[in-house]
Amino acid sequence: MTDVSTCPPLTRQSVREAHDRIRPYIHRTPVATCETINILASTPQAERCPSSGPNAAAETAPHDHNRTDNAGRYTARPNVKLFFKCENQQRIGAFKARGAFHALGRLIEADGLESVKKKGVVTHSSGYILMQQAGNHAQALALAAKTHGVPAHIVMPSISTPSKIAGTKSHGANVIFSGSTSDEREAVVAEVIKNTGATLVPPYDHPDIILGQGTQALELEEQVEAMLEDDPALGISGRKRLDAVIVPIGGGGMLSGICTALHGTGIRVFGAEPRFEGANDAEQGLKLGKRIEKVKTLTIADGLRTPVGEIPWSVITDKTKLAGIYSVTEEQIKAALKLAMERAKLFIEPSAAVPLAVMLYNEDFREMVEQEAGHEGWNVGIILSGGNTTVEAIAKLFAAPEKEEERAAAKVTTNGESVAENVAG
C-alpha cells in the first residue's frame, strides 16, 4: 500500500480524482426505486397494517426494541422517496471493487508497474472466520491484481468453505492457509511479505481505500439528479436532488469515503449499524467520544462485524461530515432484507439491508427525519453495498422458526475464537 504520508488529502476533489482513476475498471451501478417501499417508509410504523400487503410478516417487523412496550403510541411520519444505489451489481458483487482498484492503481503510480508486478500484493481474511467483508475485499483485490497482471496473495483460515476459497482462486490469486486466530493470520502475512516483498492492502483503514469507496456517492448524486430531471415524480415534489444518504458501517472505509465525497454539498450522510452483541461500536463510540477498538459479534450483517478503523474514525467524528449513526436489530435487518428482495427484486446480502432497516424501523431516525425534513420531505439515497450471499444462506435465514434454534446451536468454539456457521457462506 502506498505510504499514508504520500496519499491525497481526504477531500471531495480527491474522490473525484479517484473516480477518474478507477472508472475504466468498475461498473457505474444502476440506481433503483420502488413505489411500495416508498409508501411503507412514509407510513408511521403504528399504521402499517399487518394484513395490508403481501408481505405482512416484513411489514410488521418489530419496532425498535426500546419502544415496543407502548402499543398504539405515536410513531413518526417522515415523507421520503428512496433511491437504491445497487453496488450489489458492482464487479465481484460489492463496492469493495472500488477501493481495491484505487489502492492498486495508486500503488502502481507510486512504485511503477514493474516493481509492483515483481513484489505482488497481499491481504487476509479478517477477525471472524468466513466473514463476508474480508471475502469481498480479498476477491476485489484478486480481481484488481489480475487486471494489472500483479500477483496477489490471500491469507485465509484453513477451515474456510470451499466455495469461498474457489471464488478467490478464480481470479488467479494465490490462496495461503493459516490458523483461524488473527495472530496466526498476521504471522502468515508477515511471512509472505518477507518472502516475496508483497505490499499489504488492508480492507478499510487506508486513505486510498477510503477515497475509492467514496466514488459511489459521486455517481449516486449525479444519477439521482438525472433521474429527477427525466421524471420528477420519482422524487419528493419540488426537490431536484438528494437530501441525505444512509450508508452501512463496519470498518468505516465506505462511510468515511462517502462523508468525504459529499462534504460541502449539503447532502447529509448517516451511518447504519447492526446492534446485536455490541456490533454498534461506532454509534457507541460517538456517544462515549472514544473509538471502540474491539468488537465480538455474530450479527447476520457479517460484513459489519469489524470495529471502525482509525482513519475512518477521524473522518466520522467530524460533525460537518457525518450527521449521525443509527443502529437496528437482527429482526429489523431481516425484515428490510425481505422487502428489498420481494418488493424491489434486488438480491442483496444482509449487511446491505442495514440502511433500509434504519429508514423503515429505527424510530429515532424516523422522528429526526420527520422534524428536519418537515412536510416537504427528503430524497434519501440508500447504499445497497453488496450481494454476495447464496440462496442456501437465505434459506437458513428464513427457514421455519424451529430451524433457527439449530442454527444457533451450530456455534462452536475453536482456537479461543467464537466461530459461527457462516450465514453468508
Question: What positions carry a catalytic annotation?
Answer: 96, 126
The 368-387 site mask, x for binding a copy of itself (CB under 8 A), equals: -------------------x
Asked whether position 71 contacts a copy of itself by CB under 8 A, the answer is no
Indicate the DSSP class of residue 326: E
From 5-13, 53-61, 233-241, 359-367, give the range in contact with a copy of itself by CB under 8 A. Answer: 53-61
Beta strands (DSSP E) in 216-281 are 244-248, 268-274
Phi, psi of 129 (to 5 degrees): -60, 135
Residues of this chain, 336-365, that bind a copy of itself according to CB under 8 A = 337-338, 341-348
Residues of this chain, 137-176, that bind a copy of itself according to CB under 8 A = 162-164, 166-167, 170
Asked whether position 394 contacts a copy of itself by CB under 8 A, the answer is yes
CA distance 130 to 355: 23
Indicate the DSSP class of residue 320: T
Question: Least distance to a copy of itself from the beta carbon of 164, Å?
Answer: 7
- Is 291:309 a contact under the CB 8 Å cutoff? no
What cell numbers appear for 400 in the block?
421455519
- Is 391:269 a contact under the CB 8 Å cutoff? no
Q: Return the number of the residue (345 or 375) whose C-beta is nearest a copy of itself.
A: 345
Question: Least distance to a copy of itself from the beta carbon of 260, Å?
Answer: 27
Question: Least distance to a copy of itself from the beta carbon of 410, Å?
Answer: 12
As to burial, measured by CB atoms within 10 angstroms (0-12 exposed, 13-18 middle, 19+ buried), residue 152 is buried
Of 259, 261, 425, 268, nearest to 350 by C-alpha is 425
Of 338, 325, 336, 208, nearest to 271 by C-alpha is 325
Q: Return the number of the residue (32 or 218) whose C-beta is nearest a copy of itself.
A: 32
Beta bridge partners of 386: 94
Choose, by CB under 8 A, the member of 391, 401, 409, 412 that binds a copy of itself. 391
Q: Which residue in the block uniquely carries the three cell numbers 437496528? A: 328
Asked whether position 115 contacts a copy of itself by CB under 8 A, the answer is no
Q: Return the number of the residue (7 or 339) whose C-beta is nearest a copy of itself.
A: 339
Q: Return the number of the residue (130 or 322) whose C-beta is nearest a copy of itself.
A: 130
Q: Which residues bind a copy of itself (CB under 8 A)?
A: 30, 32, 35, 51-56, 86, 88-89, 91, 93, 162-164, 166-167, 170, 337-338, 341-348, 387, 389-392, 394-399
